Amino acid sequence: MSKTSITLTAINDLLFDSFEVHKVLVVAPLRVARDTWSAEIEKWEHLRELRYSVVVGTVQERMKALTNPADIYIINRENVQWLVDESGLPLDYDMAVIDELSSFKNHQSKRFKAFMKIRPKLKRIVGLTGTPASNGLMDLFAEFKLLDMGERLGRFIGQYRNAYFQPDKRNGMVVYSYKPLPDAEQRIYDKISDITISMKAADHLTMPELVSTEYTVQLFEKEKEKYDRLKKELVLTTEDNEVTAANAASLSNKLSQMANGAVYSDDESVIEIHDRKLDALEDIIESMNGKPLLVAYWFKHDLERIKKRFEVREIKSSRDISDWNSGKIPVALIHPASAGHGLNLQQGGSALVWFGLTWSLELYQQTNARLWRQGQTADTVVIQHIITKGTIDEQIMKALKTKDTTQAALIAAVKADMEVHR
């Protein structure tokens, strides 16, 4: 929906038309801060008078960027604490934009606490995200506290929990998780609706068809035995090494690795289990007949094994993004945590393969949106998932679909009525 250019247009009007702001801070994921915002300013003729400074890199580079005369200062979210607590420069911003607001959903994180120190000085604040509640409605507390200082959902997490949730999983007096009260969703939507606008690209733009498929692979009997042994006994012993899962989270991680084909041992060496997913990826690459393919991986050993077998290139730098969009990279690799937000990759291809899955709905949806978005010229975008049958892959796919229910309801509840706003 081009939320970056829409926001920049609003900033341009506030700066030079109504004169309501004079200095804007933009906080975004690293690659988005470095590449996307500046590219959008340069792209649109009506925005080219905006002076911007990209605050990334070394301390010296950041300090220089902060002292450059500009209307907009664009910093990556990892450096918010440094800006507030260590830079020593005047924090005289009167407007802020948080791109990917969902990355501030943890009210105990350092970046959240640092930003809250400057929040009272801001006259205007805008939060942008396509995944506001990827793990449920509890995510909304911190996000909306940044926006309204706790006016709508409460100043403290305890207030929010007591008003809208009840204990779910617990052990005696220890509560591990909460679930919304029967009427909580609608009450939350009503509270936030006056400052929330939601638009789906499919409702307002001619979007390409989105096709989601699963490519199922089967473990051989000996490979399945190893997987089942670790799952049952939490220990897998090989000739040279041992793999131990200390708890449920560790077991989930190890089983995901094994489903992909390799697993880290206790001494951090890589134990290769099978090549089923690599074989499947080879079939998919061949079926593309030279057309560009984007591959999402999760574990470092996934990356190493893919690079060992195929001629591929990681998308990490501005040059990589440019080359991909120019059609110069037949097979490109991205990691959802570093390239899942904000990057415009739709010009380079229309097919994405998930070699390894993630439990994070936010990263999953954001990664898919690198191709299925405005500006995609293909009639169809294909998202393929390589699933190892009888493994945790199947549970992850199910969980991703289940988690989407809450978020879809949230987005539907605050969806903008475009006729009203016209």
Of 91-105, 197-211, 234-248, where does the model show the most confidence?
91-105
- Reading across the β-sheet that carries 95-99, which strands appear in turn? 52-55, 72-76, 24-28, 95-99, 124-128
Domains of the chain: 3-202 (3.40.50.10810), 204-219+274-408 (3.40.50.300)
Closest C-alpha among 299, 231, 227 to residue 270: 299
Closest C-alpha among 160, 163, 150 to residue 112: 150
Neighbours of 422 (CB within 10 A): 5
Q: Which residues, including other chains, have CB under 8 Å from residue 288's CB and lie 6 or more apart?
A: 330, 351
Answer positive or negative: Cα dihedral of 422, 48, 35, 350. Answer: positive
Average pLDDT (82-102) is: 94
Per-residue pLDDT tens digits for 320-369: 988 999 999 999 999 998 765 667 888 889 999 999 999 888 889 889 98
**For 384, phi and psi rounded to 5 degrees?**
-110, 145
pLDDT (0 to 100) of residue 360: 85
SS3 299: coil
Which region among 4-13, 140-149, 253-262, 283-292 has the lowest average model confidence (pLDDT)? 283-292
Per-residue pLDDT tens digits for 363-400: 898 899 889 887 788 889 999 999 999 999 998 988 88
**For 371, phi and psi rounded to 5 degrees?**
-110, -40
CB 264 within 8 A of CB 270: yes
